[in-house]
Chain A
Amino acid sequence: MAEAALELEHVTKRFGDLAAVDDLSLRLEAGAFLGLVGRNGAGKSTTLKLVTGLVTPTAGRIRVLGHDLAADPVEVKRRIGAMPEDMALLEMLSGPQYLRFVGRMYGLDDATIDARRAELFELLELAPQPRQLIADYSFGMKKKAALCAALLHAPKLVFLDEPFEGIDPVTRRVMKDLLRSLQQKGVTLVLTSHILEVVEALCPLIAIIDAGKLKGFGPLEALRAPGQGLEALFLELVGGQQKGGLSWL
């Protein structure tokens, strides 16, 4: 069997009595594009934090690109790119300063960093004022800067937590095209989103998570009934029911 890009074996993460992720197992081959969907608080962001080494699992094992995450977190981080939900930007730097820092941390030389940054900025139409600090960027600009930072070092596995939230339709289109082209080049992608239409259009693989448990995992075509959309499948698996109006309004 070929080496998996990402492999979770019975991974559990508890915060006190709460199991944010409960006995989660899945395996992604290289070049896969997984859409991780679930309700608010279902455990999507915790799962991404687990696989990026931001939190440690209470139980279970995680392997990333052939490396055991617990044994070799630095090697794993060197090979992955991640865009957390809160973007984790260093806001007291300008965009170019930040990307220069990120690139150096991944061992890139300055010329490569600047060339890649120019390409990313142009592609994502990110054009900050000279010396404008990230703290003064709009929300959409921050998202773009965070995406640039996640991709700058040419990672083989990319995790994106709600990348399309707060993004205008034009940029969303550009980002979708960019992610598709990355997948075609063999990059493995995992994204979370509440926008099911985007996930359905973009991700060949779907994982549905609810209350920390995996409710469904596989190609969308294999999971759904003929003619059924992702939203209907999602509601079926997580038990969402149509409810009436408010009693008092």
Chain B
Amino acid sequence: MSAPPSAPPALLRSIRALLVMHVQAGFNAGLRSMGALSAQASVALLVLLVTLFAGVMAVSLFVVGQDMAPRVAEGHTGLPGLLFTGATLMGPAAAVMVGEGRELDWERLRLFPLRPVALFVVELVAMFGDPVMVIVVAAQAGLAAGLVAGAPALWAPALLVFCCSVLSTAALRLVLSSLLARVLSRVRGLFLLALSLGPPVLGMLIVDQPEVVAERQLERWVEGLAVLPASVQLGLLHQARAGAWGEVALALVAPLAALGLLGALAVRGVLAEVSGQASAPSARPERLWSFTSPTWGVARLQLTTLLESEIGRFSIIAPLVWVVPMGLLTRVALPEVPAGALAPSVWFFLPSLLLGFLLNQFGLDRGAVKGLFLLPVTELQLLQGKAVGYAVFQALQFGVVVVASAVLLRPSWYVWICGPLSSAFLFVALLTVGQWTSTMWPRAIPRRGLKQAPGSMALGMVALGVLIGTMLPVGLLWAALSAWPLALCAALVAMNLAALVVFRFYMSQAARVLAGRREKLVESLG
């Protein structure tokens, strides 16, 4: 080895190295996730998709902004403020959830002679390389441009709010990247509860009123949104015209203070990881498991594996993606459609959320499948344990749907019985088929990020066939018997019993298939 480095690397040099590494790591991760596609095709596809989405968002919000501009100039800034704030809050959250997790693990950089400020600057810049962030920024730019096009005098507040929103978006993305995983791991229950109950309760507050009152309520809410930092900034012009210079100062100071606070949080997150404070061992004693049989042990393991994976956690609250829009749509936009009429669709939709898991039951075990096969349990016990684990997980989803439906959809009495029965039938059917597909086409499912493992063409065809083959008869049954709820209940009970009989019979066959394909599973998942 020759002499030690003579000149210290300048800050800019570190920044350059970090940025190059960011791009390379992101590109490599992208190529990896694209699987069989060539590098050029992957890049072209990604650029096309991002451009398309960003363009659509920008144009749509330009039109919206242009339409709102005259009222904004008069001081009604609540709605555009909400849109900017929504993009600032939801964009980073979506980027963190949809992305594969951060490619650049800050903790890994602690060995380098690196000033945290370099890392912070790079991370802030690199946030804009994220495709979701590109789309969000395009949307914010479209909205700001629309406001200026609709009322040219708004250029100064629109520019201010755009700059603050973009910086806040990047800072928030950084905060979420560093903190979300730890926050989720510590207050996961609370977080899930808030996410599960928050939107329905919010929806109830907004829409659970007679129509006229609801409209007034909505107006009050919109006016109340004027306190959002983005709304305050947009009110700059109106307040200046009115000579309210104190409020103008507030319009400049308050949002910048909010941005500063967010920036400080982001810096703190980076420093905590770079200095290693984030990885101090926990002093809390570990809670150990106890279970009464191998089957329950496997069930507990399966449930924990699901809850510990990001995609599993997301699946618990995913029913809200269906329930909340349905509820709000029928209450606000389509009051002539009874919300309860849409409730059965939620129960139909529910098992499909677990499709990726049920048809690939060992996917989340990944390399740990070797450990499972080393345990002194039979293949039948393994399958039974997994079935119980998935059933408990599905029951948690049921809980979320029940709460959300009660608040937003308020279905008829028989839907409370027939809905879960339909879901249960679909679940058992998928579980049964999954015991075969899981051994035929096993694929490792990433535990971080929300992307599903790309399945084979054969698995995709089977999944499509199973969905059509199970949902169609249930749907036809509902169509035929919804006028006779008791008969529908009875028919669904009969279908569930039949499905359970088939499941029980088939499970021993599936266990034999699994015994013969252990090696294939270890090879594919290990």
A interface residues, Cβ below 8 angstroms from B:
15-17, 49, 52-56, 74-75, 77-79, 82, 84, 88-90, 92-94, 97, 100-102, 104-108, 133, 135, 151, 153-156, 182, 185, 187
A90-B105, A93-B21 given as contacts; is B1 within 8 A of A187 (CB)? yes
* Contact between chains at A74 and B276 (CB < 8 Å): no
Stretch of B2-10, B162-170, B451-459 on the interface side: B2-10
Q: Is the CB of B13 within 8 A of A54?
A: no
Question: Can you name 9 extra interface pairs (CB under 8 A) apart from A16-B283, A89-B108?
Answer: A15-B280, A15-B283, A90-B25, A101-B24, A104-B16, A105-B113, A107-B5, A133-B28, A133-B32
* Bound CA–CA A55/B111 (angstroms): 11
Q: Are the C-beta atoms of B1 and A151 separated by less than 8 Å?
A: yes
Contacts of A156 in B (CB 8 A): 4
A-B CB pair tally, cutoff 8 Å: 101
Assembled-state Cα–Cα distance A84/B110 (Å): 11
Q: Can you list, as one digit per residue, whether each of B149-173 has a CB less than 8 Å from chain A (1) or not (0)? A: 0000000000000000000000000
Q: With A74-B114, A90-B25 as given contacts, are A104 and B13 in contact (CB-CB < 8 Å)? A: yes
Selected from A82, A94, A154, the residue in CB contact (under 8 A) with B5 is: A154
Which chain B residue has the least Cβ–Cβ distance from A97?
B24
CA distance A78 to B9 in the complex (A): 9
| Least CB distance, A3 to chain B, in whole angstroms | 15
* Also in contact, A74 and B108, with CB within 8 A (given A107-B7, A153-B4, A155-B4): no
Q: Are B114 and A105 in contact (CB under 8 A)?
A: yes
**A153: B residues at CB distance < 8 A:** 4-5
Residues of B within 8 A of A88 (CB): 107-108, 110-111
- Contact partner of A102 (CB less than 8 A), chosen from B13, B16, B107, B112, is B112
Contact surface of B with A, Cβ cutoff 8 Å: 1-5, 7-9, 13-14, 16-18, 20-21, 24-26, 28-29, 32, 103-105, 107-108, 110-115, 275-276, 280-281, 283
Residue of A nearest to B105 (CB): A90
Do B111 and A93 have beta carbons less than 8 Å apart?
no
The 5 lowest CB-CB distance pairs between A and B, nearest first, are: A107-B9, A104-B17, A78-B113, A92-B25, A16-B283
Q: Which residues of chain B come closer than 8 Å to A92, judged between CB atoms?
A: 24-26, 28-29, 32, 103
Nearest-Cβ distance from residue B382 to partner chain A, whole angstroms: 27
User: Which of A15, A77, A100 sits near B111, CB closer than 8 Å?
Assistant: A77
Determine the residue in chain A with the shortest Cβ distance to B2.
A154
**Which residues of B lie under 8 Å from residue A106 when comparing CB positions?**
5, 9, 112-113
**Do A54 and B113 touch (CB < 8 A)?**
no
Are A105 and B5 closer than 8 Å at their CB atoms?
no
User: Which listed residue, A15, A79, A84, A89, touches B281 by the CB 8 Å rule?
Assistant: A15
Question: Complex: how many Å from CA A107 to CA B15?
Answer: 12
Which of B7, B104, B108, B115 has the most chain A CB atoms closer than 10 A to its own CB? B108
Q: Chain A residues with Cβ under 8 A from B280's Cβ?
A: 15
User: What's the Cα separation between A16 and B112 when bound, in Å?
Assistant: 28
B2 CB to closest chain A CB (Å) equals 5
Give Cα distance in the complex from A69 to B368, angstroms: 41
26 residue pairs bridging A and B, Cβ less than 8 Å apart:
A15-B280, A16-B283, A54-B110, A75-B113, A78-B5, A79-B4, A88-B107, A88-B110, A89-B108, A90-B104, A92-B29, A92-B32, A93-B28, A97-B24, A101-B17, A102-B112, A104-B13, A104-B17, A106-B9, A106-B113, A108-B5, A154-B1, A154-B2, A154-B3, A154-B4, A187-B1
Question: With the chains together, A56 CA to B279 CA distance in Å?
Answer: 12
Across the interface, do A55 and B1 meet the contact criterion of CB distance under 8 Å?
no
CB contacts (< 8 Å) of B281 on chain A: these are 15
Q: How distant is the Cα of A77 from the Cα of B13 in the complex, in angstroms? A: 16
Nearest CB of chain B from residue A244's CB, rounded to whole Å: 27
Distance in angstroms from B217 CB to nearest chain A CB is 49
**Alpha-carbon separation in the docked complex, A153 to B17 (Å):** 15
Contact between A97 and B283, CB atoms less than 8 A apart: no
